[in-house]
Chain A
């Protein structure tokens, strides 16, 4: 098999991994700050996909472009949801948080089934079937655009946390909740912003994924599982870890498919998960609990 084919597969893995990473980033941000695991993560991604589908149907907005307004809309949704629904559960036992968010997941899935039916949906983009040829390697246009958009959203999020006062305050609250409260930070507001940012990531990622793949409401559990695998491999709560985990899973799946068999894709992801849990339980970029 030629070098260009390996190059293709590697680039496919990296490009897909960047979108996976953005989706998982949302889960990591929410857990890293609010300490609530969003078990409805995949469902929100699918909800974003349907929103992108509707926007495309109504106004022919490219899902990759729609990722910006959808990120904003999902930020507001996440902010409101945290304030109105999740906040009372922050201090409750984890199983109660689990039940709440699984309930939300079921409502979303069944709502989508009622509204759109079980058939898969897709968008016809003018470049859906196009590719770039670089040194003999063929790279899908749609995947390049999707990865670029995912990278831009991720960079914006990293910049927000690094360079803004609110971002610094959120990091402070994530590191030391009591200290943050003592110095007068409005922790509830910071939690709501974090939840909003988490959903903004998943909103943008879902919208981008609409350009890459077909979707049905039943896709959600597999996306939740994928996000969990990525953040556990990367380190739950670590933003860098989520991104690195996405890339690692994307590349590992692609390379294993080529070298071994496409049927072992999932086995490789979960094999990595088991390996990381056994050797480094906090994940590749996670902090060990003291």
Chain B
């Protein structure tokens, strides 16, 4: 038999060996970074997860225009810690060189444990639990504020906004969800509030289950105390329930402010409570409308998500984009997707032009970005509007809280 054109046994073995060895070689020489983007796109945090996802859809065009090349694998954590853990394992087994996520602190902690074991960098887009960067993880950075940072900035802004609006508060009730985020915020509040010499007193701190069918009893309880100021830490779902019950019970404090939590700027919140969304103030890291990169991201967002509003999604979109930007930038500098050099490059990040308010993106020894700034944002005309600090504000804060009655 003529063997020409046939593969002999040796060639076959060599080819097989090359195939087996290929992934490592390909990985080392890859031209794009394979990123597993893990978000809670279903389950309790679905609304926020979907919002971040829309940001991920808008990001590749902007990154590509900046000369970066990434391959994003979208993964749903189902808002579950267990699913987050198993999906992180699967994503890394499938070749993910970097993980980004996961909006919720509990889910992110579950992913962090896997990434640490597998030596794959994890970049937190949004997650504030302090333990994320205080437990010595070597393969984790967070481009977001920790709970104490959010609370400190949030409380300071409450003082400044009330001063700017000539409004005095003597008493406050702190109403917060009892999930990982809400509990972390409550702990931070307990620790930080006494150190800031605020002009009001927190007379009661009330924890609630954000998955409860309604929050009527919680609101009744707050009404019984009748504070000047209601401080809230919510998600979109419970912010809706809370607003409905406050309107029904005609509970009207001088101000309702969040020292740093989501929910009040979400599309879902505006869709559900309409004109009753107005008046709430939340102090958070926010996107810088004056940044060119924000404008480019907004243009791409409009093209990829024509049915959604950038002003409502901007917080989630901005931080998700920045996490992708950090990964892409580090990959470009490291020249490889291998865990150790990539992580080293991520830790050496120094990005001056970006989307969110604040200084250059860089990380301290713990893995936190110390340069993130906060702004006071108020819902005015059913639109999140920056009202403080003055240099980034586009309107003045409206206080006291507008009456519920007569809004229709």
| A residues adjacent to B (C-beta < 8 A) | 1-2, 5, 8-9, 12, 16, 113, 117-120, 122, 124, 128-131, 138, 140-141, 143, 209, 212-214, 216, 218, 222, 253-254, 257-258, 261-263, 265-266
B51's nearest neighbour on chain A, judged by CB, is A119
CB pair B43–A118 under 8 Å, yes or no, is yes
Q: How far is the CA of A131 from the CA of B251 in the complex (A)?
A: 12
Stretch at the interface among B100-108, B203-211, B256-264: B203-211
B230 to chain A, nearest CB (A): 14
In the complex, whether B217 has a CB less than 8 A from a CB of chain A is yes
Query: Which residues on B sit within 8 Å (CB–CB) of A141?
Result: 248
CB pair A16–B50 under 8 Å, yes or no, is no
Query: Which residues on B sit within 8 Å (CB–CB) of A131?
Result: 248-250
The residue in A124, A130, A214, A266 that gathers the most chain B C-beta atoms within 10 A of its C-beta is: A214
In the complex, whether B366 has a CB less than 8 A from a CB of chain A is no
Q: What is the number of residues of chain B that contact chain A, defined by CB distance less than 8 Å?
A: 42
Main secondary structure of the interface of B (DSSP, over half): helix
CB pair B50–A118 under 8 Å, yes or no, is yes
CB pair B209–A5 under 8 Å, yes or no, is no
Q: How far is the CA of A212 from the CA of B211 in the complex (A)?
A: 14
**Option from B178, B213, B241 in Cβ contact (under 8 Å) with A16:** B213
CB pair B214–A212 under 8 Å, yes or no, is yes
**Option from B42, B207, B245, B274 in Cβ contact (under 8 Å) with A113:** B42
B265 to chain A, nearest CB (A): 16
Query: Which residues on A sit within 8 Å (CB–CB) of B206?
Result: 261-262
Query: Which residues on B sit within 8 Å (CB–CB) of A209?
Result: 213
CB pair B42–A266 under 8 Å, yes or no, is no
B249's nearest neighbour on chain A, judged by CB, is A138
Query: Which residues on B sit within 8 Å (CB–CB) of A257?
Result: 208, 217-218, 221
Query: Which residues on B sit within 8 Å (CB–CB) of A262?
Result: 206-209, 212, 215, 217-218, 221
CB pair B207–A212 under 8 Å, yes or no, is no
Query: Which residues on A sit within 8 Å (CB–CB) of B250?
Result: 131, 138
The residue in B237, B241, B248 that gathers the most chain A C-beta atoms within 10 A of its C-beta is: B248
B219 to chain A, nearest CB (A): 10
A189 to chain B, nearest CB (A): 36
Q: How far is the CA of A98 from the CA of B79 in the complex (A)?
A: 26
CB pair B217–A120 under 8 Å, yes or no, is no
Pick 15 A–B contacts, CB within 8 A, sort by A. A118-B50, A120-B47, A122-B272, A129-B248, A129-B404, A143-B216, A212-B213, A214-B241, A222-B211, A253-B217, A257-B218, A258-B220, A258-B221, A261-B206, A262-B209
In the complex, whether B247 has a CB less than 8 A from a CB of chain A is yes
CB pair A266–B209 under 8 Å, yes or no, is yes
Query: Which residues on B sit within 8 Å (CB–CB) of A214?
Result: 237, 240-241, 272
**Option from B208, B220, B276 in Cβ contact (under 8 Å) with A8:** B220
CB pair B220–A9 under 8 Å, yes or no, is yes
B49's nearest neighbour on chain A, judged by CB, is A118
CB pair A118–B42 under 8 Å, yes or no, is yes
Q: How far is the CA of A122 from the CA of B241 in the complex (A)?
A: 11
CB pair B42–A122 under 8 Å, yes or no, is no
In the complex, whether B223 has a CB less than 8 A from a CB of chain A is yes
A8-B220, A120-B236, A122-B271 given; name 5 further pairs at CB < 8 Å: A218-B44, A218-B46, A222-B211, A262-B208, A265-B212
Q: How far is the CA of A212 from the CA of B248 in the complex (A)?
A: 12
A85 to chain B, nearest CB (A): 27
Query: Which residues on A sit within 8 Å (CB–CB) of B248?
Result: 129-131, 138, 140-141
Q: A212-B214, A257-B221 are in contact. Are A218 and B237 (CB under 8 A)?
A: no
A144 to chain B, nearest CB (A): 11
